[in-house]
Amino acid sequence: MNQIKKTKSFLNLLGKQEVIGSASKDDKMLYSADIDLQETIKSKKDIRELILKKFQNKFKQAKKSNNLFITDFKAGLSPINNLPLKWSYDDIMNGYKLLDNNVKFQFVNVFNQKSTIKLDLVLETNDKFIEFSENYYFDLDNNKSYQQKTNEEIITSLKGDVLYYNHTKNNKLKALKRLYSLFKLTNNKKQVDVIKKFLNLKMIGSKYKLKSDLEVILLMIEQKFKKVKINKIKQILEKLNTNISKYKTLKTIKKKIEIEIEKLKRYLNIKTNNFIIKNDLQKFISTDLKGGNIDPDSLNEIIIQTYEPESDEIINNYQLDSDLSNDYAKVYHDKVNNQTIISHKGTDGLMDWTNNLLYISGLYDFSNRTRQAKEVQNKTVEKYGNENLSTIGHSQGSINARKYGKDSKEIINVNPAFNPLLINEYYRTPNEYNIRSSKDIVSFPMLIKNNLQSITNPFWSKNHNLTIPGETNDILKEHSPDILKRLDKNKIGKK
């Protein structure tokens, strides 16, 4: 039994294992990069403790082995924030994961949830690292750990993936591979054959394989499961015919690998884009997509959730990006329409009034709030880009939206704070739009400046400012983002 078969056997739990993806017999790809597996485990008995012991044994065996590295293990969702849980060696050995506030989440509870249960592993051979991934689907006593999707739901998900990888991640080859899966599912044999032929071209497949091999080496340098010897990494780099093996330190090797990966990514993007255009696939890849625009209800709810300590995970089509969001700003992304929203919140609590005083005195840039706002804005741009990014600010939050969102697709401020002493900060770019209640006192001073804009700023027009008629004499209600509910269903922002 060779090493690949042994590794497949190692990953197998209790069910019938099958190879999926580009390494499967159905696809017959010449340049598959990794090996994807899946199995379904069914039992009418309660075997949760048995499964835990089997995973514990796998972690022990991998730790003792000379050539197996577990790089990631996802199972279950956190009861605190509903995010996927990642299990370390110590977590699995303990049989529980310690969450925030010292809450213990028992591993056996993952089988009561609908979540991804996936183990990623790297096999070290004489001349390369090979990455394996296995998805486990459990059906225990008629309680499934997974959501059974219909064909229509899978198709919708694949369409979203195509847009996500093409626009958000700027990975056109991965977007094309998702499109290939979509055509297979919808029985479009002609397009399947066309794309398969392209993916099997040596000039594409070999570069894709090299990029994937380098990414696995990068993963091996960064993983914490157990240490990999630098000589082994240099030996494998030498087999790949790169010049990177000549460098002596892991830090330098890592940097050179990252540079080479970016070169390969650019090459593959150019070649793939040319293929897309030549074969008239733009209508599926949607290379000219400019993002969506925002309905008032979604905008209102996202602003409200910016103030919540535990924000809703999903608002209509928008999914919270918890990795980017912080106490002062929340990031939501619509994968299907490739639209991203970052919402900067206004004054929240007594301590936050200190920031208002700093703003009035012109010292706002020195506040912790503005430093955090800048950090989350930069990270959002790095991940999703500016092209389809809407930067939202409510009240005090409009200060940071205006300051750091100037390169985004648009800035939309709701009842924005305005300091006449800092008048030069406002309206420097034509992408800023302001919505206010006629009875909002916080944004009232802004009206003076608005009246001058049509004269002093050639890009400014009445469309940049929308005043909603006030309905009450309640100061708090008129300053609330709930004023957006008074708008009709026409969407806000650029298409």
Q: Is the pLDDT of residue 291 over 50?
A: no
Mean pLDDT, all residues of the chain: 84
Domain-located, residue 242: yes
Indicate if 267 and 316 belong to the same structural domain.
no
Q: How far is 34 from 212, CA to CA, in rounded Å?
A: 8
Last residue of a domain, one of 115, 148, 181: 148
Domain-located, residue 218: yes
Domain-located, residue 158: no
Q: Is the pLDDT of residue 188 over 70?
A: yes
Q: How far is 331 from 353, CA to CA, in rounded Å?
A: 24
Indicate if 419 and 305 belong to the same structural domain.
yes
Indicate if 328 and 183 belong to the same structural domain.
no
pLDDT digits (tens, 9 = 90+) for 217-239: 999 999 999 999 999 999 999 99
Indicate if 195 and 118 belong to the same structural domain.
no
Lowest-confidence region among 122-126, 371-375, 415-419: 415-419
The pLDDT of residue 436 is 84
Q: Is the pLDDT of residue 305 over 50?
A: yes
Indicate if 217 and 356 belong to the same structural domain.
no
Q: How far is 161 from 157, CA to CA, in rounded Å?
A: 6
The pLDDT of residue 288 is 42
Indicate if 194 and 246 belong to the same structural domain.
yes
pLDDT digits (tens, 9 = 90+) for 57-104: 999 999 999 999 999 999 999 888 778 899 999 999 999 999 987 889
3-state secondary structure 130-191: EEEEEEEEEEECCEECCCCCCHHHHHHHHHHHHHHHHHHCCCHHHHHHHHHHHHHHCCCHHH
Tokens 């240490």 label which residue? 227
Asked if 445 and 420 touch (Cβ cutoff 8 Å), the reply is yes
Amino acid identity for residue 483 in this structure: I
What residue numbers bound the domain in which 211 lies?
173-285
Q: Is the pLDDT of residue 472 over 60?
A: yes
Indicate if 345 and 388 belong to the same structural domain.
yes
Indicate if 126 and 240 belong to the same structural domain.
no
Domain-located, residue 333: yes
Q: Is the pLDDT of residue 434 over 70?
A: yes
Q: Is the pLDDT of residue 308 over 90?
A: no
Indicate if 256 and 371 belong to the same structural domain.
no
Domain-located, residue 163: no
Last residue of a domain, one of 89, 113, 148: 148
